[in-house]
């Protein structure tokens, strides 16, 4: 059985508050889930992809990997780590025809981000902060992932596409 595409979309955020109040236990849980799990899964599929001659690995980072959001900074640090992991794995896997890329969504209306938008005042604030004037949807992300896994992006590796409705963010 082959594996052509791996999308690492793990993400938890068990802490809301000051970065300096994050316990070591929570810190480890964040990194184990948000970074380590995707890395270890990638290590498992790379030999399968190499044997078949190609593959695509996608990591789901976040705008918080570029710009820390107050209250979820520890989560953001893990998403920054994914930006580096995409670059490093792309260098490692490029010679064996495996492309590694990422997406960095802004605020996407999902259950995971509900705390940021379920309050109508908060939703209006975030919509007003977005040049496109709306929050994103899962469909806004799926097209970018499809593109990154297609032949149309055959010469793209080590990149992370921002899907933020126009919110500018760079490291």
- Residues with a known catalytic role: 75
Q: What tokens appear for 50 in the block?
A: 């190499």
CA–CA separation, 80 vs 130, rounded Å?
Answer: 21
CB 90 within 8 A of CB 128: no
β pairing state of 160-163 and 55-60: unpaired
Q: What tokens appear for 169 in the block?
A: 């963010």
**Phi and psi torsions of 5, nearest 5°:** -135, 135
């Amino acid at each position: 059985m082959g594996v052509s595409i791996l999308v690492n979309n793990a993400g938890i955020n068990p802490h809301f508050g000051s970065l300096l109040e994050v316990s070591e236990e929570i810190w480890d849980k964040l990194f184990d889930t948000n970074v380590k799990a995707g890395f270890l899964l990638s290590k498992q599929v790379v030999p399968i992809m190499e044997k078949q001659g190609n593959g695509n690995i996608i990591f789901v980072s976040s705008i918080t990997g570029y710009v820390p959001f107050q209250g979820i900074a520890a989560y953001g640090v893990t998403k920054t780590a994914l930006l580096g992991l995409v670059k490093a794995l792309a260098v490692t896997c490029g010679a064996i025809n495996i492309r590694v890329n990422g997406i960095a969504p802004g605020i996407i209306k999902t259950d995971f981000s509900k705390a940021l938008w379920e309050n109508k005042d908060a939703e209006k604030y975030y919509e007003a902060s977005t040049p496109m004037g709306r929050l994103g949807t899962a469909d806004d992300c799926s097209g970018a992932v499809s593109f990154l896994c297609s032949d149309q992006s055959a010469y793209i590796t080590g990149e992370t596409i921002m899907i933020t409705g126009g919110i500018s963010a760079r490291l």
